[in-house]
Structure 1
Amino acid sequence: MLVKETLICNKLKSRSISARAVQVGQGTPAIKNIISVASGKGGVGKSTVSANLAVALYREGAEVGLLDADIHGPNQAVILGIREKSRVNNEKKIVPLRQHGIQSVSMSYLIDTKTPIIWRGPIVSQALYQLVYETLWEDLDFLILDLPPGTGDVPITLSKKVSVSGTVIVTTPQKVALVDAGKALAMFRKLGIPVLGIIENMATYKCLYCNHEEPIFGKGGGKRMADANGIPFLGKIPLDIAIRKNSDRGIPAAISDPNGSVAKIYRSIAIALVEQLLL
């Protein structure tokens, strides 16, 4: 299996899946594949999944960037443990920060983290465009976009202005999350953005003492949603206190314990995602 997974990643890195690679500088392809991570509603762990997915891809040997596209509620500075601010060079280009091996950019790297961002839709859309195209990314195999929840301006901007290879939808198993995830799925299809798969987060609660797993939010909702819509189910992630603790420490679970069960789950999901891009 390890040989197969290594071949998959190497094959994907050798070419761009997007119809048009993002061009930066003097016509040099800087980003081969842009993948957005979305959710229908907030609170399902989308940002945590985005960070861990980026780290998991990096650990497979890919050059990865993470763009915090949740303009009004950026959280990647906390999840990645970044306290410094991004530098803007003389040409007014943003220099991404590197942490845990991945490049990243976020509004929280540019302004005080306690300052609310009170912007209307057109300004948010322009900010997203600038973060993608006016950041000095080193050549990337993958750029992961951590989108805001819902079906607002940012996904519409993506469909019109950014060459996205596809999107991944994160949900939790309970009905209220699945209903909104279904709306997000329908929106991306309407916008013509391929849906690469569903990730079910908080699928089970893992007991600290006996390791028994209980589906406290319901069982199998993400898998049923994927099957009903004819799209891949990329995997499920438990509600594990280690994920929360590591996020609060600024060390994603995929790298804090690289041989642990959670890191293996994120690695499996990353490989499943790569396989979908190769189809």
Structure 2
Amino acid sequence: MAHELPQTVQLMKNHRSIRQFTDQPVDDATFREIIFAAQRAPSSHHVQAYSIVHVTDPDKRATLARVAGGQQYVNEAPVFLVFVADFWKHEHVCIEEDSDFQIDETENVLVGTVDAALAAQNALTAAESFGLGGVMIGGIRNHPRDVRDCLDLPRYTFPVMGLCLGYAAEVPEQKPRLPLEMILHTNTYCEKPFIDGRKNYDEEMAHYYQTRSANQKEISWSKQMSDYFAKVRRPEVTTFLTEQGFALK
């Protein structure tokens, strides 16, 4: 007898990144429910170290699309959100409460990043439950100073990711993930399943890239990853974080 999956689990397993959207707007009631769902994401010590910027201004959209690497769907999506790690509000509270504000630890950067990412994932899952699709925009970190200036982000904040949302105009093929045995460990980390299974996964990914309906290319996952990690990426992020008040001690 086949095991029937809960609707939410099936929804999550069906996820695809949507980059082409119809002109159908997202109504305000649906939008607000998506944001309410984002707020219910877990938060370390109830810090809630994030804010969400809903970007509707066309000029700001154009700026963010450009700094994110020319990603046109940032312009075209009915909804574009920027998830910001936010400790400005906590500095304000500490000033009002006449308390020290110990923000220098790298742990705080991790807390803010995790809080923002969990809220973003909740928002995407909620949107998908309403029949929308979306794609996360990591390119929002390409030029963080430009994003800060565009959105008037205060000290003790930094942009973590963007999120495009809307009704899908096209649903792409689902990209294969690493096999479960290559990412799931019991009690201790075991390298062998990854070493033994990498070639098969490379073949699966190469077939996917060669046969998918758009942007076909000939590359394996290992080659893609080795090319990715051969380059320094976003080297200004550390300096930017320091400028924003995070000493990373």
**TM-score w.r.t. length of structure 2:** 0.23
**TM-score w.r.t. length of structure 1:** 0.22
Task: Point out the structure with the larger helix share.
Answer: 2
Which is greater in Rg? 2
